[in-house]
Amino acid sequence: MSNKLTVLLNRIAQLEYHRDRPLPDHQALHLDNMDQKMDQGILLGDTTIDSPDINQRAQFVAANLLHAIKNDQEANAAAMCTWLANRLPELKQVKIEEQGNEVTINLVFDEEHGGQIPVQFIH
């Protein structure tokens, strides 16, 4: 059994987080700071949520993860991925699909990502 979280955008793996690696103290503190900021409320779509539960927080963090990936903000993407992996220890995949202006984010708890296989084309 793998102990990793994989983030996919349009079925292509973008990030992998391995839970078996210890989390440095400064990163754990950063996750706690993220939680404290979310304790003050979050904006999901057009709705302000004053006291978000873990699922609403996960949606908020996953949306911010997408924004970070799309804008090449590697450190921010890593922080969002780390939050998801640590706060949702059973989470195996974050599947993000974009189709036009529509974005769907699915948090997958029951299926590990099988990995990608490179395909070589013969001329």
d(CA 91, CA 5): 7
* Residue 65 falls inside a structural domain: yes
Q: For the chain, percent helix, then strand, then coil, each to nearest 5?
A: 35, 25, 35
* pLDDT tens-place string over residues 30-75: 999 999 999 999 999 899 999 999 999 999 999 999 999 999 999 9
* Residue 115 falls inside a structural domain: no
d(CA 66, CA 102): 13
* Residue 81 falls inside a structural domain: yes
* Banded pLDDT at 113 (limits 50, 70, 90): confident
CB 8 within 8 Å of CB 91:
no
Given this model, what pLDDT does residue 82 score? 96
d(CA 1, CA 17): 14
Give the three-state DSSP class for 26.
helix
* Residue 119 falls inside a structural domain: no
* Residue 84 falls inside a structural domain: yes
Of 1-5, 20-24, 74-78, 108-112, the poorest mean pLDDT is in 1-5
What's the domain count of the chain?
1
* Residue 117 falls inside a structural domain: no
CB 35 within 8 Å of CB 54:
no
* Residue 122 falls inside a structural domain: no
Q: Which domain holds residue 94?
A: 4-108
* Residue 50 falls inside a structural domain: yes
- Mean pLDDT, residues 4-19 taken together: 94
